[in-house]
Structure 1
Amino acid sequence: MSSTPNVLIVEDEKLLMDILVVEIEDAGFNVLQAPDYEEALQHLGGEAPINALITDIRLPRWRSGWELAEKARSIQPDLPVIYVSGFSPEQPRQVAGSLRFAKPYQISALIQGLRDLGVAPGPAYV
């Protein structure tokens, strides 16, 4: 029996979020969505297990994807993280074992990044 891994995507650009959801779900993943840090934390503390986090670095209301990933790792120490951003005035603060993609990026590269981090639909998520 196989299961579908849950990927939390944090992106405040609605059009980009819509495209990401369709493409990543088509690749066999279940997608949970959050437009900001606060809503992402609700998912991270929720009932559905999160198997990977894809977060924009520049988030609304003075929070960053760097902060979100650090908080997420305090909740789930081994959570795979992918950062995406076009520009960030902050110095990179990537958590260990994460990947970073610059906008514009290929969604297929993000999907391959999930696989490279060990997150893929199939028997591993029983």
Structure 2
Amino acid sequence: MCTAQYYIVVEDDSLIQDLVDAALAEGGFENEIVASGEKAVALLQGAPTKYRALLTDINLKGQLTGWDVAKRARELNPEMPVIYMTGAAADEWPSHGVPNSILLNKPFAPAQVVTAVSQLINQAPPPKE
């Protein structure tokens, strides 16, 4: 029997949270949405194998950026797919982004989120139980 695969979404804008959540849910993905990098890191550290992928905004409220969250996620799970969402930090992706990640520039269409997640999930090895 297959257990649910969760996708963690880190976004502090409620409109974008709703857009991403609806798009992923329609694509068959189960999501956990948090508004801060600190909360995301706490969830990832508490259950590193629960989450199949990370979608994160770059500029978040609090101390941690999306860059920080993705780096910590990859320390916990080196194969975790990472998708960055940003309206202003795209030019920093080559120097701050983790390898084999995708960047979506805001505004983006809901279908782009599903396509990006599917692309990275299909490239990643199966999750470890």
Structure 2 unaligned blocks of 5 or more: none
What letter corresponds to residue 57 of structure 2 in structure 1?
A: D
Aligned residues: percent identity? 28
- Once residues 89 and 115 of structure 1 are traced to their aligned partners in structure 2, the CA distance between those partners, rounded to angstroms, is 21
How many residue pairs get matched?
Answer: 122
Matched with 1:21 is 21
For the Cα contact (< 8 Å) 2:38–2:63, is it kept in 1?
Answer: no
- Once residues 58 and 41 of structure 1 are traced to their aligned partners in structure 2, the CA distance between those partners, rounded to angstroms, is 15
Matched with 1:96 is 99
How much is the aligned-residue C-alpha RMSD, in angstroms?
A: 2.1
- Once residues 98 and 5 of structure 2 are traced to their aligned partners in structure 1, the CA distance between those partners, rounded to angstroms, is 21
Matched with 1:83 is 84
Structure 1 unaligned blocks of 5 or more: none
* 3-state DSSP of counterpart to 1:117: helix
Q: Which structure shows the higher helix fraction?
A: 2
Q: TM-score, normalised by structure 2?
A: 0.84
For the Cα contact (< 8 Å) 1:4–1:28, is it kept in 2?
Answer: no
Structure 1 stretches (4+) deviating beyond 6 angstroms? none
Q: TM-score, normalised by structure 1?
A: 0.86
- Once residues 104 and 3 of structure 1 are traced to their aligned partners in structure 2, the CA distance between those partners, rounded to angstroms, is 33
Q: What's the offset of the Cα at 1:29?
A: 0.6
